[in-house]
Amino acid sequence: MQRTHIRQAILSDAEALAALSSQLGYACTADDMKARLSAVSPSADHVIYVYCDDRTAPSAWLHVMRTFHLESGFAAEIAGLVVNESQRGRGIGAALVAEAIG
């Protein structure tokens, strides 16, 4: 039985995250994604969560940004969310959002 879990993204996830991004129409290479991950990690204003199991690369990711709005103060916004096409409809996106909410 595969055990699934959610954790923060690490640089070695770059290839999988780039492939997932391409499913949304955002073409990028693993090197592009490594540079982007490096730009926001570590940061108190950006968190990238990944959903994975013990045997495979991440099959989903969620990017949450801390923002500030003049009218309401600090907030968190979802900057990006993608679940592998083959795993959509299983509650993975909802699990990632729940993790971000805490």
- Cα three-residue angle 60-34-88, rounded to 5 degrees: 10
Q: Which domains does the chain have, with CATH numbers?
A: 4-101 (3.40.630.30)
Kindly give the confidence (pLDDT) of every residue in the chain, 102 residues in length, as a single tens digit, with 9 standing for 90 and above. Answer: 568 899 999 999 999 999 999 999 998 999 999 999 999 887 789 999 999 987 788 999 999 999 999 999 999 999 999 999 999 999 999 999 999 988
Residue 65 buriedness (CB in 10 A; 0-12 / 13-18 / 19+): middle
Q: Considering the entire predicted model, what is its pTM? A: 0.88
Per-residue model confidence (pLDDT) at position 50: 97
